[in-house]
Amino acid sequence: MTRAPAVDLHRPKVEYFNIDELTNIDPKGFVRQVERYHVEPWGLYMARTSDHPEFHYIESWLLPTVSIRATVFHFTPAHLRDQDYYIDIGTFMQVGPKQWKSVDHYLDLVVRQGREVELLDVDELLAAHSAGYLTLTEAQDAIRSATATIDGIAAHGHNFEAWLASKDIKLSWM
């Protein structure tokens, strides 16, 4: 009998985005300098450098009304990936006049424009719920958000930004 790989069980990843300070406090508590924040009625844009071995720059939009964080990673040439957008499912909110917070709810989507959307980390969501890290309602909301996003993107020819435009959300990237 084969064994399923072990799940990386962890509490939800929480990040803070401080617009005035131009900082992003990552889930491990590291304070990262941000080059640019931009606020729109539908969300918060962040762009910053990264010291990650696989990518050197990150751009993200926190989009509370659709419960997603859309990210474009600028990969190093040795670590290019077949993806256009990486989407985290969770809760994203403004928590102060110039501060935002994200709470990752484990499910992720990889969008390949015009082709497909891949759902990742269902095992992490189920393990987190089983461990009491997410309530049943939070887990159900994550599944609803992920499936609505997948369905919406698919209904728009697997075009992520066309789906968002149908919701009056227009993203801009560097």
- Give per-residue pLDDT as tens, 6-58: 788 999 999 999 999 999 999 999 999 999 999 999 999 999 999 888 889 99
Q: How many helices (H) and strands (E) does the chain have?
A: 3, 10
Mean pLDDT of 61-66: 98
Burial 97-109 (b: 16+ CB within 10 A, else e): eebbbbbbbbbbb
* Structure confidence at residue 3 as a pLDDT band (50, 70, 90): low
Q: What is the pLDDT of residues 131-148, one digit of tens each?
A: 999 999 999 999 999 999
Domains of the chain by range and CATH?
A: 14-166 (2.40.380.10)
